[in-house]
Amino acid sequence: MANQSTGGDTKHIIQIPEIKFTKLFINGQFVDAVSGKTFETIDPRSGEVIARVAEGDKEDIDLSVKAAREAFDHGKWPRMSGFDRGRIMMKFADLVNENVEELAILDTLDAGKLFSGGKTLDIPSSANILRYYAGAADKIHGETLKMSREMQAYTLREPIGVVGHIIPWNVPSTTFFMKVSPALAAGCTMVVKPAEQTPLSALYYAHLSKLAGIPDGVLNVITGFGSTAGAAISSHMDIDKVSFTGSVEVGRLVMQAAATSNLKAVSLELGGKSPLIIFNDADLDQAIQLAFLANFWNKGEACVAGSRVYVQEGIYDKFVKMAAEKVKMWMVGDPFDPQVHQGPQASKEQFDKVLSYIEHGKREGATLLAGGKTCGNKGYYIEPTIFTDAKDDMVIVKEEIFGPVMSLMKFKTVEEVIERANNTRYGLAAGIITNDLNLTNRVSRSIRAGVIWVNCYYGVDNDCPFGGYKMSGFGRELGLHCLDQYLQVKSVVTPLYNSPWL
């Protein structure tokens, strides 16, 4: 059984700040929802209310889109040089760093994320995403074309317009900036809807954007529910592009709404059921570390979690024994405690969903090696759970669980594991652990997924495009490729008369 921490004295060490921002951010101002309605945001450590937040819906989306449209059609942001946009974005990033502790606290309170990880990784890396695209803002350019007849032509890369961003709850700060940063660099204006489970840090970022000098109307944040505010973004006739990260089911609804409204451009980063393949020649200590990282980082609430772990038969039994020993040292508890490895699931809904999948695994005949139970008397804590002897047709192997549940499976040959790894509707990521370069090349080229991590996991970087194949979505976050999602390509052609050359 995993150890549980109550947080020890950290409750007295970490000073929980007053929640400063709970209203909608429209056209540079914090305002109440038109309806006056609010909703509760819940602390997953206890199930208690953190604050009440403005509940935006269609009328509020309309107001924010109107502000964004005015800022795009007549405002300064698209008409600034890329250099000047970049300078403001750099200031925004500096302000994020200056407030790193308070922002990390907000994501811990809202999402149950480890405070130590937020302070040292999530929030600083979010600021660095801003800096990356700030540096790209003045390097967006077209091409001179070589026409086949007496014409001169070139391309322009123009901002796509007003963008709607719908972001998830599992990594609220990182995904906020993965979407907002390239859109800002491109010269777009936008409406951001954070997940209803994790609204607090997005509102704080809206405040910092104003301090940084981003003009009113460029960045608007509407808190609310997907079925109302999110649906209004997807179907809005004056939004030019929507970027969504979340489930396949909601991704379908976003696409349908975009198609039946103004055929706006869509990019989707959806679910995953990623394979982690461990070959006989792997360093077992490294393999165990990476398997735990792939499955239990962020309490398994990751779209790229490597929850289908295929271990070659020559090392399978030893790997199982090592995993059973390591999980005993895995500490679950208060995410403010620096000794803790895993905090609570982000919501009661997700807590119940994970537990139901664990019951599925038991009923279908997988062997429960470790975990499988809740921790403590309050909050949404679940033990890290490992199943062995899992089968590819089991629900726990086929469906995305989004929780701390690892399924171990044995394989014999390379051909077999490639076929099994690809036998999924998803294609977001995969991991390979081997010291054989030829094997690495073969398997990485054979697996249909958007990113392949070799002898590492979660190798996410600002310059590395991230996105999926198949039902994991389309479009890419991060890297310079991401800018293309927020730019239109326009060709300009003029005739040439009496040119001495073509």
User: pLDDT of 365-418, one tens digit each?
Assistant: 999 999 999 999 999 999 999 999 999 999 999 999 999 999 999 999 999 999
Model confidence pLDDT, tens digit, residues 85-107: 999 999 999 999 999 999 999 99
Instruction: Enumerate the β-bridge partners of residue 287.
Output: none
Ranges for all domains in the chain classified under CATH 3.40.605.10: 24-270+474-489
Strand ranges across the sheet with 151-159: 144-145, 151-159, 487-495
Angle formed by the axes of helices 100-111 and 172-186, nearest 10°: 120
Ranges for all domains in the chain classified under CATH 3.40.309.10: 275-462
pLDDT of amino acid 12: 44
Task: State yes or no: pLDDT of 1 exceeds 50.
Answer: no
What CATH number belongs to 24-270+474-489?
3.40.605.10
Please say whether the beta carbons of 186 and 156 come within 8 A.
Answer: no
CA 238 vs CA 97, 161, 242: distances in Å: 34, 9, 11
Model confidence pLDDT, tens digit, residues 38-80: 999 999 999 999 999 999 999 999 999 999 999 999 999 999 9
Task: State yes or no: pLDDT of 454 exceeds 60.
Answer: yes
- Buried/exposed code over 282-306 (b: 16+ C-beta within 10 A; e: otherwise): beeeebbebbbbbbbbbbbbbbbbb
Q: Helices marked H in 310-466 — which ranges? A: 316-327, 348-364, 395-398, 414-422, 437-446
Question: What's this model's pTM, rounded to 2 decimal places?
Answer: 0.95
Give the confidence band of 9 by pLDDT, cuts at 50, 70, 90: very low
Please say whether the beta carbons of 242 and 219 come within 8 A.
Answer: no
Instruction: Burial-class residue 429 by CB neighbours within 10 Å (0-12, 13-18, 19+).
Output: buried
Instruction: Enumerate the β-bridge partners of residue 220.
Output: 191
pLDDT of amino acid 101: 97
Q: Of the listed 269, 301, 400, 477, which one is catalytic?
A: 269
Q: What angle do CA 174, 178, 183 make, to 5 degrees?
A: 145
Task: State yes or no: pLDDT of 277 exceeds 60.
Answer: yes
Q: Lowest mean pLDDT: which of 8-22, 208-222, 235-249, 326-340?
A: 8-22
Q: What angle do CA 347, 109, 209 make, to 5 degrees?
A: 110
The answer to whether residue 98 is catalytic is no
CA 27 vs CA 63, 215, 217, 280, 283: distances in Å: 9, 8, 4, 58, 54
pLDDT of amino acid 174: 98
pLDDT of amino acid 315: 98
84/134 Cα distance (integer angstroms):
9
Model confidence pLDDT, tens digit, residues 104-157: 999 999 999 999 999 999 999 999 999 999 999 999 999 999 999 999 999 999
What is 275-462's CATH superfamily?
A: Aldehyde Dehydrogenase; Chain A, domain 2 (3.40.309.10)
Q: Which two tokens stand for residue 123?
A: 């929030």
pLDDT of amino acid 5: 37
Nearest to 68, CA basis, from 272, 444, 107, 60: 60
SS3 content of the chain, % helix, strand, coil (to 5): 40, 20, 35
Torsional sign, CA 403, 407, 413, 416:
negative
Q: What angle do CA 181, 171, 268 make, to 5 degrees?
A: 65
pLDDT of amino acid 2: 46
